[in-house]
């Protein structure tokens, strides 16, 4: 479709310096200059006090190191902070204080805690399912108990699942289901970019809103400095669509790296839900090309489990609302799907509660696997625990395979991933790179009976810093389709070997080495 035929509400976004002004880089650069200036002042103007200054620096550094050792910060992150403070004590201390106090996000944390507290029992666990899971012997009942410590994530049976191996296929299904909406449409996406995909969806949303359907759209605040104008929600409101950005970016006080809403959720009438890696932009359906062929995945749920995603959406939507209404949107619809099978457990991960839910579920897959664990992820920036889990699974004979991008979207992340290649492959983990282009899928499948499809990457941002969500599948029919897609994707990949690691480009070796020191901060 020619560009002039694309339905738009605003002119195409132009590049600028907003990502610099509205990021932590400005603060970091200012602190570096401040410390450099302080050292110059000491050297030229206060040289008589240099010995006193040196002693003070040593004492200050030791105190900060003690604070780090006693803190609850992840072990890998502690090493990074220790290095920063040892080299640049004042700069490092200020930056650590800034990140730990969550400037600009403390109110968000209080509101998130409150909405989760209010809804902890909002959707009761359907009767009989936990007993079925206990008798099944797969220990999934234990996982459900764990998940419900952090929120309201029941296990469901009455749910039909369909897996989409490409964004194009999800897009087609989305259009079909959106046209059937009668009561409400909830959309929560990390990225929305005006173009063919979003324009086509938007036309349906406007039509449905005019017909009285409750249409709500929420996108991450980062979009306001990258893909959409700051007042885009107002343009949507004029069309009858309730809209808001989540956590708008504030100069210096917030970051386009941390506490972003990385979720991708579509819920229709409490009966149908979509989840996966596909955002609402044309590269995700290969309408335009960025980094070669874009490989992404998603899952559609029809039945009871859709209500969990409705609750997750409303929890985020209501964070800054004065009135919180849930019941009409999450009650049992009585819908009976035609081909329900197995168990479906939608779940979310909040970066503000200290629980690493996303990482724990991945590790649960690895520790319980008996035959294989096959994973696709765009990024591989691992902490020690997840790296150990991958290696342990391979070392005890489990077939562990990872598919990563062959063409990167971010060179620093690509280089960091390669720093893990040697230790993982030596432990028996097989790593492959997708030669046609970029893998954006976040999917894991194990033993023909367990799978995860969602938004959670194997990197620090997803596992520690973002709001995320995913769908845990147990003995559902679509698991066979997920494994089939993995094998078909594998046929288009090049395998990483000791030889390819040895002959890796010097640029990536050097960049990876440098980035390793600050990996937890990426």
String of DSSP letters for 269-306: TTTEEEEES--BSGGGGTSS-SSBEEE--EEEEEETTH
Asked if residue 494 lies in contact with residue 406, where contact means CB atoms within 8 angstroms, the answer is yes
pLDDT tens for 14-48 read 554 454 444 455 555 666 677 677 667 766 666 66
Overall fold of domain 357-521: Endonuclease; Chain A (3.30.870)
Q: How far lies 462's CA from each of 74, 358, 367, 442, in Å?
A: 14, 8, 21, 11
Give me the helices (H) in 400-521, please. Answer: 411-418, 421-426, 460, 479-490, 498-502, 506-516
| Average pLDDT over the chain, rounded to an integer | 89
Say yes or no to pLDDT of 301 above 70. Answer: yes
Domains of the chain, residue spans: 18-100, 106-342, 357-521
Scan for tokens 């520790």, then name that residue: 367
Phi and psi (nearest 5°) for 362?
-60, -45
pLDDT tens for 409-423 read 999 999 999 999 999
- Spatial separation of the C-alpha atoms in residues 383 and 233, rounded to whole Å: 37
Average pLDDT over residues 513-519: 81
Residue predicted with more confidence, 80 or 487: 487
pTM value? 0.90
Asked if residue 491 lies in contact with residue 412, where contact means CB atoms within 8 angstroms, the answer is no
SS3 312: helix
Q: How far lies 262's CA from each of 247, 289, 384, in Å?
A: 12, 22, 23
Task: State residue 256's pLDDT score.
Answer: 47
- Spatial separation of the C-alpha atoms in residues 469 and 309, rounded to whole Å: 9
pLDDT tens for 147-186 read 998 899 999 999 999 999 999 999 999 999 999 999 999 9
Give me the helices (H) in 320-447, please. Answer: 327-330, 357-368, 384-395, 411-418, 421-426
SS3 149: coil
Of how many residues is the chain composed?
522
Scan for tokens 């890696």, then name that residue: 277
pLDDT tens for 206-225 read 999 999 999 999 999 888 77
CATH superfamily name and code, 106-342? Endonuclease Chain A (3.30.870.10)
The encoded tokens of residue 81 equal 């902070």
- Spatial separation of the C-alpha atoms in residues 247 and 258, rounded to whole Å: 10
């Amino acid at each position: 479709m020619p560009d002039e035929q694309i339905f738009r509400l605003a002119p195409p976004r132009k590049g600028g310096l907003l990502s610099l002004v509205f990021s932590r880089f400005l603060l970091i650069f200012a602190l570096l200059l401040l410390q450099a200036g302080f050292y110059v002042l000491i050297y030229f103007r206060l040289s008589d006090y240099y010995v006193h200054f040196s002693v003070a620096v040593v004492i200050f550094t030791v105190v900060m190191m003690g604070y780090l050792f006693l803190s609850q910060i992840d072990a890998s992150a502690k090493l990074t902070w220790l290095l920063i403070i040892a080299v640049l004590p004042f700069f490092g201390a200020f930056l650590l204080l800034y990140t730990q106090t969550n400037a600009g996000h403390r109110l968000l944390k209080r509101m998130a805690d409150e909405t989760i507290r209010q809804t902890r029992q909002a959707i009761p666990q359907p009767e009989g399912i936990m007993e079925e899971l206990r008798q099944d012997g797969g220990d999934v009942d234990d996982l459900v108990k764990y998940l419900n410590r952090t929120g309201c994530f029941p296990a469901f049976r009455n749910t039909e699942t369909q897996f989409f191996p490409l964004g194009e296929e999800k897009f087609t299904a989305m259009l079909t289901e959106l046209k059937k909406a009668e009561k409400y449409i909830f959309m929560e996406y990390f990225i929305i970019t005006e173009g063919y995909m979003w324009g086509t969806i938007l036309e349906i949303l406007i039509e449905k809103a005019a017909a009285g359907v409750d249409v709500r759209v929420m996108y991450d605040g980062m979009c306001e400095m990258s893909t959409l104008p700051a007042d885009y929600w107002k343009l949507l409101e004029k069309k009858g669509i309730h809209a808001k950005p989540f956590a708008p970016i504030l100069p210096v006080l917030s970051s386009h790296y941390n506490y972003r809403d990385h979720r991708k959720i579509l819920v229709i009438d409490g009966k149908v839900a979509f989840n996966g890696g596909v955002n609402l932009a044309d590269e995700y359906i290969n309408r335009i090309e960025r980094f070669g062929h874009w490989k992404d995945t998603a899952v559609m749920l029809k039945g009871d489990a859709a209500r969990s995603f409705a609750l997750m959406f409303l929890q985020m939507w209501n964070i800054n609302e004065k009135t919180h209404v849930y019941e009409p949107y999450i009650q049992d619809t009585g819908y009976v799907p035609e081909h329900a099978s197995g168990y479906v457990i939608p779940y979310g991960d909040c970066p503000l509660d200290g629980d690493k839910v996303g990482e724990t579920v991945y590790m649960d897959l690895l520790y319980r696997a008996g035959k294989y664990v096959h994973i696709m992820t765009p990024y591989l920036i691992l902490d020690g625990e997840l790296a150990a889990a991958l290696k342990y699974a391979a070392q005890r004979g489990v077939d562990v395979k990872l598919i990563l991008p062959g063409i990167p979207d971010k060179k620093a992340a690509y280089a960091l991933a390669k720093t893990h290649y040697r230790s993982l492959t030596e432990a028996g983990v097989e790593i492959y790179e997708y030669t046609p282009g970029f893998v954006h899928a976040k999917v894991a499948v194990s033993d023909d009976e367990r799978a995860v499809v969602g938004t959670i990457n194997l990197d620090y941002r997803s596992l520690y810093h973002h709001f995320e969500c995913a769908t845990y599948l147990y003995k559902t029919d679509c698991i066979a389709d997920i494994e089939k897609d993995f094998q078909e994707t594998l046929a288009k990949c090049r395998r990483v070997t000791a030889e390819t690691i040895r002959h890796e480009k010097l640029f990536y070796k050097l960049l990876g080495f440098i980035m390793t020191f600050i990996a937890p901060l990426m």
